[in-house]
């Protein structure tokens, strides 16, 4: 099918089989390999993207669900200030080890921070509970999200004054 949707702020048109998995469409057809596949069954969260502002698992989405959707992948994160601050916090707080869970983790964290701008550590863990990491034990990832929340609030406060 021929589909039109918005990807990282730009309208794009692609040809894809109806049932092509969105994770494959992103990685193989569009060359956006930032979104990863870790299990293909919705258990690990490595394939997390934002669709219409909500986190979704692209390994359990098909192309036919894309028309009209606004999709954000890790490649489009830094176009917004909060995404850029979150990514920087991951880098600086030691939240990245092997890095394979990182894009999905950042997407889930971004979705969380857009719903709750001052989450407790427990709320952060809850928000990341659908994203598996095998390297970090999550401690520094929670540190990063906590720090990003603070950075984003400060940035917003400065903008408002």
Residue 101 in contact with residue 131, Cβ under 8 Å?
A: yes
Distance between CA 159 and CA 161 in Å, rounded?
6
* Binding span for another protein by CB under 8 A among 6-14, 67-75, 150-158: 67-75
Q: Quick check: 134 binds another protein (CB under 8 A)?
A: yes
Chain Cα centroid distance, residue 30 = 17
Enter the tokens of residue 131: 């994203």
Q: How many residues bind another protein (CB under 8 A)?
A: 77
From candidates 25, 71, 82, 103, binder to another protein by CB under 8 A: 103
* Binding span for another protein by CB under 8 A among 6-14, 36-44, 147-155: 36-44
CB closer to another protein out of 115 and 154 = 115
């Amino acid at each position: 099918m021929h589909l039109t949707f918005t990807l990282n702020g730009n309208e794009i048109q692609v040809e894809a089989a109806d049932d092509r998995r969105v994770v494959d469409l992103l990685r193989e057809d569009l060359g956006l390999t930032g979104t990863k596949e870790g299990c293909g069954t919705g258990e690990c969260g490595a394939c997390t993207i934002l669709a219409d502002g909500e986190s979704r698992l692209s390994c359990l989405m098909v192309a036919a669900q894309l028309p009209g959707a606004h999709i954000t992948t890790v490649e489009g994160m830094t176009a917004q200030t909060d995404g850029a601050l979150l990514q920087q916090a991951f880098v600086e707080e030691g939240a990245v080890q092997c890095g394979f869970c990182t894009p999905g983790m950042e997407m889930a964290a971004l979705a969380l921070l857009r719903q709750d701008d001052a989450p407790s550590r427990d709320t952060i863990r809850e928000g990341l509970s659908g994203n598996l990491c095998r390297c970090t034990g999550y401690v520094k990832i929670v540190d990063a999200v906590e720090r990003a929340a603070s950075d984003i609030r400060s940035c917003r406060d400065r903008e408002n004054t």
